[in-house]
Amino acid sequence: MSSQPDVSPSSPAGNQPSAELFQRVITINMETMTIVKSLPMLNI
């Protein structure tokens, strides 16, 4: 018998880490956009 919890997508416990990961990706994306917008324009 496996000692690891069932974290398959069909199990309720498997959905929470996916939602947390999605939230973290969105947060990092928004922070990155803020940083990029604050950078000076390149005159190439």
Q: What is the pLDDT of residues 18-40, one digit of tens each?
A: 999 999 999 999 999 999 999 99
CB 27 within 8 A of CB 34: no
Give CA–CA dist 24/26, Å, rounded. 5
Can you give the pTM of this predicted structure?
A: 0.53
| Residue 6 DSSP class | -
CB 36 within 8 A of CB 28: no
Q: Please tell me the predicted confidence (pLDDT) of residue 44.
A: 85
At 8 the three-state DSSP class reads coil
- Tokens 């950078």 appear where? 39
